[in-house]
Amino acid sequence: MPNSLQLIFEEIAQTRNKEQLRGQVMVKLGDYFQAKRRGLFFFDSISRRKTSGLVELALSIEHNPVLRYVVEHHAPVHEEVVLQPGRWKTICPRIDHGHVMAGPIIGNGKLIGGIGFTRTREASAFNTKDLADLSAVCLHLSTWLITVKSQIKQSKLNLDLDVDLDSNINCLTPREIQIAELVAQGLTNAQIGKELWIQENSVKQALKRMFRKLKVSSRAEMVAKVLTVNS
């Protein structure tokens, strides 16, 4: 796996909201896939705002066979997998959408969003390696969204806790919360790195940041401050 993609995975884990994903993370993914355009959609957000006829058409599974494949299979795809050569041009005549690749964002077994990239007609088409890389990206995005929602839900359940304790929890990123949970299970830095698909040194640096944020000096003290929320 290219180092640049691994770095993007780590950045996804450190991201705190959807706006950051749509911004800096999607820009880097667009560069990685050499895409002219890129998009990240969450269906709950789309439903709350008025969309144009063009957007509605693009998000129509009857009109868009690429989107239909993603919806039906929950798997990444590009136009050459589902269409005969040249057929995509008749469906989407835009020059900057000459080649398209899309993938799913999954939560609780349901399709809750999608990610897409396009290239111009003059550029090379997406290939099997691009699909494999996009599969990994979709996995990390889906995991990120589940982690963030769980963190928000937990925060809502603990609104009656001491304010300082609540602040301690919320100052950590979703990835740091994951690391704290694994520390609580007794895993070593190496084991945590293997579990989260990151380097052991990344775990060490994350723990240093967490210690500073929480103003603690040991793993046990950190676990007690972050995870013992009902004591």
Q: What whole-number distance in Å separates Cα of residue 6 and Cα of residue 20?
A: 18
- Collapse the DSSP code of 197 into the 3-class scheme (helix H, G, I; strand E, B; otherwise coil) and give the result: coil
Q: What whole-number distance in Å separates Cα of residue 122 and Cα of residue 118?
A: 12
Q: pLDDT tens track of the chain, all 231 residues? A: 445 899 999 999 888 888 888 888 999 999 999 999 999 988 765 544 444 444 455 556 777 899 889 989 999 999 999 999 888 888 888 888 999 999 999 887 888 889 999 999 999 999 999 999 999 999 999 988 888 766 655 555 454 444 444 445 567 888 888 898 888 888 899 999 988 888 999 999 999 999 988 888 888 888 777 765 433
Q: What whole-number distance in Å separates Cα of residue 5 and Cα of residue 221?
A: 34
Name which of 224, 183, 184 is nearest 206 in CA terms.
183
Q: Tell me, what's the pLDDT at 228?
A: 54
Q: Tell me, what's the pLDDT at 153?
A: 59
Range list of β-strands (E), 70-169: 77-78, 99-107, 110-119
Q: Tell me, what's the pLDDT at 52?
A: 46
Q: Tell me, what's the pLDDT at 90?
A: 85
Q: Tell me, what's the pLDDT at 1?
A: 45
Q: What whole-number distance in Å separates Cα of residue 66 and Cα of residue 58?
A: 10
| Domains of the chain from N-terminus onward | 3-150 (3.30.450.40), 158-227 (1.10.10.10)
Global pTM value: 0.64
